[in-house]
Each structure stands twice: as C-alpha cells, then as structure tokens.
Structure 1
Amino acid sequence: MVFSQYQKLTATGLWRPTPEDQRQDVVATIGEATLILTDKRGQTVAHWSIAALARANPGEFPAIFHPDGDPGETLELTISQSEMATALDRMRTHIARRRPHPGRLRLVILIAVLGAVIAGGVFWLPDAMRRHAISVVPKAKRVEIGEALQAEIARVSGPACDQPEGQAALNKLAARVAPDEPSLKVEVVRQGVTGALLLPGRTMLLNRAVVEDFEEPDVAAGYIVAELYRAASGDPLAALLNRAGLASSFRLLTTGDLPQGTIRKYAEHLLTGDQPRPPSEQLIPRFEAAQVRSTPYAYAIDLTGETVLDLIEADPFAANAPPPLLRDADWIRLQNICGA
C-alpha cells in the first residue's frame, strides 16, 4: 500500500549492485509499492519491493537502503534527498504494522499460558498439595504432630492429669462412648482447652471442669461425642495445614516435618479461637448411636437452655435412660483425676 502523497516521488542517489561494484548515479522513483531505480539513460537497473526494503542506518545520513536479506546491494540518499528517505521509512513502517506478527501472537499465548499456570498455582496448587499431604501422612506422623501440638498446648494448660485410677475410669468412658475408636486417647487438662479438643493422632483433651463441675458423666460423654463428630467433618490435620499455608504443606511432603513455629501458632489458635459447635440436628443421631443423653451436654453449654433447646427437646433418651456410662465408683475416680 502506498501513501498517495508519495506517488511518483523521485530522488537522486548512488546505487551499488554488489560491494565489489562501483557506485553509480541513479534516479529512485516510488511506484505502486515498489522503488524503481533507473540510470542516466532511463533504463531500469533495479526494482525493489518497499515491503522488503530495509535501512542499514536508521536516522543517519547518507541514508542507506537495501533489499531485506541482501545488504550488499545498496542505495545511498544524501541529506538533500531526505524527503525520499522519510517517505521510504514511513511506508516501510506502515507496511510492517499491517503484517501479521507471529512473534507477538506467540507472546500473547505465552502470557496466557503463564497466567493460567500462575492462576493454577494460586487457586489449585495449594489445595491440591494439602489434599495430597493429608492423604500420604502416615498414622505415626499424625501422632507425632499431635504430640507436638499437645506439648505446645501444655505450656498453657499444664500437663495432662495423670492420676492412674482416674485415667483408667476415663478410658472406660471413652470405650463406652466410642467403641469404634480404639485409637482414641482421651486426657484431662487443667486449663486452656474449652470443652474438648481433638488433635491429629486421635488424642482428645478435655477441660477438667467437664468432669469436676457436674454430677453425672453424661456431660463429659457429650463433649466427647460432639468433638468426635466435629472432627469427623474435617480432618484435624487438614485444619492445621489449611491455616498453616502452602509452605508448611510442602515442607511436610518433602521433609516429613512441620516447622516448630507453625505448630506453636496453631496451638495458640486452638486455645484462643472459637471451635464451631456442630448443628444440633446433626448431633442428635450421634448421641443416639453412642447411647448418650444430649440434655446434660446442652445445659453444660447453656445453663438457661435457650440456645440449645433443640438438643434438649430432641434428646433421644428423654423418656428412656440409656445404658450406664460408668459405675458410680469409676465416676468418682474420674472426678478426682487431677488430684487435689
């Protein structure tokens, strides 16, 4: 395509067909998308396509043009012929802009692919890595992580109460409430934990108030039932990794360990953050399956019963008492698990 103002524009210049040849005077004329070079006799000596024209020294004079790919054949235009040089530059630029740019398309595709990869890294990779870490961590490692968490919690709660007869009674209660959980280990701590807290590795911590401040073991049993259900709806290790972030999941996968700082921060979160209570309509079947009354647990949560009325009204054993949870002697021993 040619700009109309440059039609038939002419200029004198020096043309050289090869580097070994002498330069000769020519007249350069802009035709229909071509540059025609003629000698003094008016004979055409070269016919260049402007679309395939290159400039060896942009912005300098004498301006040197040559066919693209053949820098040995040149046309020199002095500064007095700057109008022709400017016209050729503008036409070359105009034609170049109208050409397809495969490199630019490749760049756009590359950017799109990189964007997809980055988006995948941001939105998909963290969740996928956490799921993979959760699926491959062995039980022994879960127990180790749970023990590390418990050690950090002990900085606030103190060591678990270890009165032997009381612990034996607690083991009986756990076996009665959760017979399908042989790996469950329940311990009582003096403070820090609100109600009950299940750690990775199936260790559950109960606050001493759950066993000391009530007249019947149904409250402690209710906390065990509710916490087991809450944990069943979300793996305790998954909760830890979700809060710890991608780096911790990656480290767990590659080294088999979690940073101590991650363990400490999550322990602080467990002690200070509110653990959501499962919906009552989902808890009732669990109480029924465990043969535990839900009413004592409900009143332990809310003494007025107003916010837990559904747990009270839907108690599966409101009319008929379930099998005993513990013998009276065992219940007394459990209440004294922390000693004086």
Structure 2
Amino acid sequence: MTALSEFQRLEAQGSWRETPRARLREVVVSVGDATLILTDPKSDAPLSHWSLPAIARLNPGQIPAIYSPDPEGEGETVEIDDRLMIEAIERVHRAIASHRAHPGRLRGGLTIVAAMTMLGAAVMWLPGAIIGHASRIAPPAQARQIGLATLADLERSTGAVCARKSGQAVLDWLAPQLVEDDALLRVVPGPLNGALRLPGDVYVLGDDLLDGAAGPEAAAGHLVAASLAADPDEITHEALDHAGLRAALQLMTLGDLPQRAMTGYGEQLLSRAVPRPDTPDLLAALESAGVPAEPYANSIDPTGASVLPLIEGDAFRDQLPERPLLTDEQWLALQQICAG
C-alpha cells in the first residue's frame, strides 16, 4: 500500500506476549507491506505477522501503547514505547480506515484528500521525528563522528586543535577523573569562555582557561560543569537538527554523515552563552571529583558577586583536597599544549 511506503524502514523495540498468560518477550517491531512484523532480536527469526488494518490499540492515549490483532485482547499483544513507531502505526491505521470507510463514487476523492492530508502531515512531522529518532538510536561511534565533525567546524573560528603530545597526554589522564572514561578532551587556541560538550562525549576547552591560570582547577571545573549542563541525547539531537533530514537519513542508513553537514554549527555554538548546570548538582560533582569550586566561580565572575553560592558551597573552601589535581610537571605540560 502506498500509504505505508514512508514507514517501511522503521523499526523499534517492543515487548510481545504470545498469550494473555505468557511472559513478555523482547522483540523488534518493524513495518512491512501492510503488516507489522515481530522478530526475535537474537536470531532475526520472524515470530509473528499482523495485518495493519486488523490491529487494535487496547489502551488509547497511554504509553507504552498496547496493540493486538484481537480487539478483545485475548490473543497476542505487543507493547511499544517508541513514539515514532506508535505515531507511524496510528497514522497508517487511520489512513487505512479512512480508505475503506468510503466505498463507491466518493472513494477516489476521499483517498486523494487522505493522501494529501498525510503528505502535508508528513512534511511537517516526519523530518523532526526522523531526526529525533536518529539521535536516539545513534550508537556511540556515530555520536562521536558527529562530535568530531562539529569540532572540525569549530576550528574554523577558534584555530586548529592544540596537539602537543605531552599536553594531550595530561588531558587523556584527566578525562576519567573529571568526566567519562572514553571522553575526548581537546584544547583550542581561541577563547570559549568555558568548556563545550559536543556529541559523542567530545569536550573542548579554550586555551584562555590554561594560559596564565594559577592552576588547573578552573579548567577542571568547567569540564565537570559541561558534563552536567545538558543531556547527551539532547546534544546529539540539536547537532543533527542543524545537519538536517538528509544527514539524519544518511546516518541511519549508511552510518556516516554527508560532507560539510555540520558547516556553520561551530560558529552557532560560539555565538551563545555556555550552558551552566544547577549549583547543587555542580557542587556535588566537583566535590566527588576533588575539584575546588572557587577557581571555577572566579573564572566566571572575578568579583564573586554572581557566583557567591558556588564559593560559599565549596567543599574545599577551608581545606584543600588531599591530592592535587595535577603535579607541577603535568600542569606545565598542559599549559604548553598550544606551544610550538
């Protein structure tokens, strides 16, 4: 059916119950040629095929949505919480119902109206839904690719990433202490007024936080703050939204981004204020990482007036951490990361 063509590549996870008394079983739900196909994710073996026109939703308006080929719910059921899949099933189901509800001379005209309505809705709804779906299902390697492409675009405004090996070794050593084990920490020569977190756990610092600073604590505080300021899925979604529908489709189908997909995004990030996390969350994270809050606060506002809660809540205000964040040799190497 032509009404199904736009959804035929759509897949989502679901929980299938073969009988009302059977245990829930994880399945992959996909849209076929007028059918809903339930597949074992371990063996890729089809477990059941349902006719889309015959499917009934047993709990309208609730999540997860529960569907069954039996309107009474006495047979098989599947639970789906993926909103893109739910919306696709509902739209296709409504289109099928509309198509068969008006036989005779009106059928052709009503079919055209329904098709035009679906097309209009698809134009408005599908791009955002596909981009959102792509950002949610992107594996770490694809998210990292988006982050590195964003960093490459950022370099056009800040200058090339500083690559002195001794300084980068210090960043690699710091990453698991401050953010995530597999995070990439990078320094650019231009000022960023903080740290940026890009998709794929790529973090970027400006050399302004290192050059002339008394110690690494301010830069470390900005990295910790960046790790808390936004949800990783939201960061990836925003970047893909800039890249557009074509880039999202290529990422889902071919596994990579078009060239220049992120052009202009780095400049867009630089044009707005760096997001800041909630003060209680940041103070707790800084204490856990052994990073004083006051140097970070002073780097934002040297007067201290607007960051007083950070200064007063600093767990190390009266007593420094047991171990320094870096040795003198490490700090010197990090400060010189952009030299040469």
TM bracket, shorter-chain basis: 0.5 to 0.7
201-210 vs 295-304, which moves further: 201-210
Quote the residue 1:226 is aligned against.
225
- Secondary structure of 2:210's match? helix
* Mapping of residues 10-159 of structure 1, within 5 Å: 107=109, 111=113, 114-115=116-117, 118-119=120-121, 121-123=123-125, 125-159=126-160
Aligned to 1:328: 328
Structure 2: unaligned runs, 5 residues or longer: 1-102
CA distance in 1, matches of 2:303, 2:136: 43
Shift of 1:282: 3.0
Aligned-partner SS, 1:263: coil
Question: Counterpart amino acid of 1:330?
Answer: Q
Are positions 1:337 and 2:315 aligned together?
Answer: no
Contact 1:189/1:205 (CA < 8 Å) preserved in 2?
Answer: yes
1:103 Cα offset (Å)? 5.0
Q: Which one is further off, 245-254 or 307-316?
A: 245-254
Kindly indicate whether the alpha-carbon contact (under 8 Å) linking 1:194 and 1:271 is maintained by their aligned counterparts in 2.
no
- Cα distance, 1:302 vs structure 2: 1.0
In 2, Cα distance between the equivalents of 1:156 and 1:117? 40
* Preserved CA contact (<8 Å) 1:172 1:326: no
Question: Which has the higher mean CA deviation after the structures are superposed, 302-311 or 154-163?
Answer: 154-163
User: Any idea what SS the aligned residue of 2:276 has?
Assistant: coil
Q: Deviations over 1:162-181 (max 9, x none)?
A: 22222222333333323xx2
Letter in 2 for 1:258: L
Q: Could you say if the C-alpha distance between residues 233 and 162 of structure 1 is closer, same or farther in structure 2, counting changes exceeding 3 Å?
A: closer
Alignment of 1:141-290 (within 5 A): 141-178=142-179, 181-191=180-190, 193-232=192-231, 234-290=233-289
Counterpart of 2:330, as a letter, is: D
**Shift, 1:106, TM fit:** 8.2
Aligned counterpart, 2:17: none
Contact 1:176-1:325 within 8 A present in 2 as well: no
> For residues 298 and 252 of structure 1, do their structure 2 counterparts lie closer, same or farther at Cα, with a shift above 3 Å needed?
same
Report the Cα offset of residue 191 of structure 1.
0.8
* Distance across 2 between alignment mates of 1:325 and 1:303: 22
Code of the residue aligned with 1:280 in structure 2: it is T
**Which whole-Å CA distance do the structure 1 matches of 2:320 and 2:257 have between them?**
46
Q: After superposition, what is the alpha-carbon deviation per residue over 1:259-304, rounded to whole angstroms, capped at 9, x for unaligned?
A: 3343112122123233322232332222222222111101101111
Separation in structure 2 between the aligned mates of residue 339 and residue 108 of structure 1, nearest angstrom: 70
Task: Give the partner amino acid of 2:334.
Answer: L
Aligned pairs (5 A) from 1:291-302: 291-302=290-301
Q: Aligned equivalents of 2:243 and 2:105: distance in 1?
A: 42
Q: TM-score, normalised by structure 2?
A: 0.61
- Provide the secondary structure at the position in 1 that maps to 2:185: strand
**Structure 2 counterpart of 1:37:** none
CA pair 215-147 structure 1, distance change in 2 beyond 3 A: same
Q: Are 2:216 and 2:325, in contact at CA under 8 Å, matched by a contact in 1? A: yes
> How far does the alpha carbon of each residue in 1:201-244 deviate from its partner, in whole angstroms, 9 at most, with x for none?
32211101111132021101101101111243654321201333
Looking at structure 2, the residues matched to 253 and 205 of structure 1 have their Cα atoms a distance apart, in angstroms, of: 26
Q: How many residues align?
A: 238
Which is further off, 259-268 or 217-226?
259-268
- The 1:336–1:142 alpha-carbon spacing in structure 2 relative to 1, beyond 3 Å, is same
Q: TM-score, normalised by structure 1?
A: 0.61
Structure 1 residues 261 and 159, CA gap change in structure 2 (3 angstroms):
closer
Deviates more, 1:304-313 or 1:167-176: 167-176
> 2:316, 2:104 → 1: CA distance?
76
Unaligned regions of 5+ residues in structure 1, if any? Answer: 1-100
Secondary structure at the aligned position of 2:297 is classed as: helix
Change (3 A) 1:117 1:275: farther
**Rg larger for:** 1
Q: Which moved more, 1:101-110 or 1:156-165?
A: 101-110
**Percent of residue pairs bearing the same amino acid type:** 36
Write the letter of the residue equivalent to 2:307: V
1:185 deviates by: 1.7
Local SS of the residue matching 1:264: coil
Moved more, 144-153 or 223-232: 144-153
Alignment deviations for residues 20-66 of structure 1 (CA, whole Å, 9 cap, x no partner): xxxxxxxxxxxxxxxxxxxxxxxxxxxxxxxxxxxxxxxxxxxxxxx
Rounded Cα–Cα distance in structure 2 between residues aligned with 1:207 and 1:170: 13
* CA distance in 2 between partners of 1:317 and 1:102 (Å): 80
